Amino acid sequence: MGQEHDALIVDRRLPDGDGLDLIRTLRGSGVTTPALMLTALAQVDDIVEGLDCGVNDYLTKPFRFIELQARLRALLRGGAKPRRPA
């Protein structure tokens, strides 16, 4: 990607393809930047496919901006790192 980003917001319907293809490509090349899928595709199968392909969160349109902000804060907090065995 050339530069580092704190988080990615990707739509499923990009002008030149599906946002899931972008996420798959990034994950396949080792990019671990947290990603939020922001899309109108709200069927359970769409959400599961997004999460399974590597997005960290999935928000459907329409949405409230305050919820988007909260989800981004949660992504940036990250999760607890796994402990190594003693």
Note the pLDDT tens digit of each residue in 26-75: 999 999 999 999 999 999 999 999 999 999 999 999 999 999 999 999 99
How much is the pLDDT for 79?
Answer: 55
pLDDT attached to residue 78: 80
Domain boundaries of the chain, sorted by first residue: 9-76
Please name which of 23, 49, 18 lies closest in space to residue 36, comparing C-alpha atoms: 23
CATH 3.10.105.10 assigned to 9-76: no
Q: What are phi and psi of 10, to 5 degrees?
A: -130, 140
pLDDT > 60? residue 82: no
CA distance 24 to 28: 6
Q: Residue 1 above 50 pLDDT? A: no
Q: Which residues of 50-59 are buried (b: 16+ CB within 10 A; e: fewer)?
A: beebbbbbbb
Alpha-carbon span 84 to 82, nearest angstrom: 7
